[in-house]
Amino acid sequence: EVQLVESGGGLVKPGGSLRLSCAASGFSFSSYNMNWVRQAPGKGLEWVSSISRSSTHTNYADSVKGRFTISRDNAKNSLYLQMNSLRAEDTAVYYCARVSAAAGNQYGSGSYDVWGQGTTVTVSS
């Protein structure tokens, strides 16, 4: 079964750090671009970051650029999001998402055919 499972969310104070992980199974992880997408409580979806198959290309939303770092370990079938200098507006459910092989490009962009269940990040004092 194709699956993505996020972990690492929690409650953190403003200015703090968290590292999210996403464990992939059931497919050849190294063959797919991967992204993080978030959803603030009661709000819509917001793209956060993209990484290409071999980590050659990464991209970030302006709202997180310079604070968040996306990475992956293809040997461990895992995707990561290191989040530093967290702000209240980073509070959201964070989803890892697989870019569809049919709807993506070599830079990591695309549409998402597999999603994790999400992990909740709450930034509050």
Partner 1 sequence: EVVLTQSPATLSLSPGQRATLSCRASQSVRIYLAWYQQKLGQAPRLLIYDTSNRATGIPARFSGSGSETDFTLTISSLEPEDFATYYCQQRSDWPLTFGGGTRVEI
Which residues form the interface with partner 1 (CB under 8 A)? 35, 44-47, 50, 59, 61-62, 95, 100, 102-105, 109-113, 115-118
CB of 59 to partner 1, least distance (A): 6
Which of 44/66 has CB closer to partner 1? Answer: 44
Angle at 83 between CA 78 and CA 86, to 5 degrees: 155
Which of 35/123 has CB closer to partner 1? Answer: 35
User: In this structure, are strands 119-123 and 92-104 parallel, antiparallel, or unpaired?
Assistant: antiparallel
CB of 41 to partner 1, least distance (A): 12
Angle at 111 between CA 51 and CA 37, to 5 degrees: 60
CB of 72 to partner 1, least distance (A): 18
Beta carbons of 18 and 6 less than 8 angstroms apart: no
